[in-house]
Chain A
């Protein structure tokens, strides 16, 4: 059974710092991996999707990497801002349509 783990569960850093969020999964037979952002009480916003054949994807200040063989992904946030404060969720797609989620990392950027 696929399990997705995100470390740390919570992270608080001062504004301007670069930071890395980690995601690991137990079964490397995945189709792709998605990173989402969730603001308190809100739905999920898709940030980046990495296909299983890709190594990384970039969007603005965000860069996500994927090492399928070791079952790891990282989300790098450059020059963090208070508006980046949210919970970040990692999900792997196994099978045709099933997403398996981690519990998320709650990120706080302090002004």
Chain B
């Protein structure tokens, strides 16, 4: 596996179900992110993890619960969701700090995205 992978790719769940989304990055990065992409709205940042520690929660409802057991894995635990939570959930990773490019140190923090999980809440 290369890059950023996400499972499952598609998920249909009822409002009373509990499910989890999984993300794994194979890039050796130290930061991971969850984004939500709803129809007709820009991509929204949900959570940021640096070195397994959550550093940003963008006012996300508590029915979304992230978990980052190590710098390569990120989970999003879902419970009692609403139909309006139906969306494409994207995971990303990046290297925070300097990256050497052509002998120079560059602080780009370029984010690399997974293919997403298409979630439908009935």
Contact of B90 among A43, A96, A104 (CB under 8 A): A43
Give Cα A96 to B49, complex, Å: 12
- CB pair B113–A93 under 8 Å, yes or no, is no
- Chain A residues in 8 Å Cβ range of B90: 43-44
Instruction: Report which of B6, B55, B111, B116 forms a contact with A99, defined as CB distance below 8 A.
Output: B111
Give the size range of A's interface with the partner: 20 to 34
From A43, A93, A97, B48 is in contact (CB under 8 Å) with: A97
- A41 CB → nearest B CB, Å: 7
A97 with B94, Cβ < 8 A, contacts A41-B88, A102-B42, A103-B42 known: yes
Q: Is the interface of A mostly helix, strand, loop or mixed?
A: strand
Point out the residue from A43, A96, A100 that lies within 8 Å of B113, measured CB to CB. A43
Residues in A neighbouring B79, C-beta threshold 8 A? none
Contact check: which of B6, B42, B96, B110 meets A46 at CB < 8 Å?
Answer: B110
Tell whether, in the assembled complex, residue A51 and residue B42 are in contact, meaning their CB atoms are under 8 Å apart. no
**How far in angstroms is the closest Cβ of chain A from B42?**
4
> A43 near B116 (CB under 8 angstroms)?
yes
The residue in chain A whose Cβ has the minimal distance to the Cβ of B41 is A103
- CB pair B56–A98 under 8 Å, yes or no, is yes
Q: Which of B40, B42, B106, B109 has the most CB of A within 10 A?
A: B42
Residues of A at the B interface (CB closer than 8 Å) are 4, 31-32, 34, 36, 41-46, 49, 51, 89, 91, 93, 96-104
Could you list 14 further interchain pairs (A-B, Cβ under 8 angstroms) beyond the known A43-B114, A97-B96? A31-B109, A32-B108, A43-B4, A43-B115, A43-B116, A46-B111, A51-B106, A96-B96, A97-B33, A97-B50, A97-B109, A99-B45, A102-B42, A103-B41
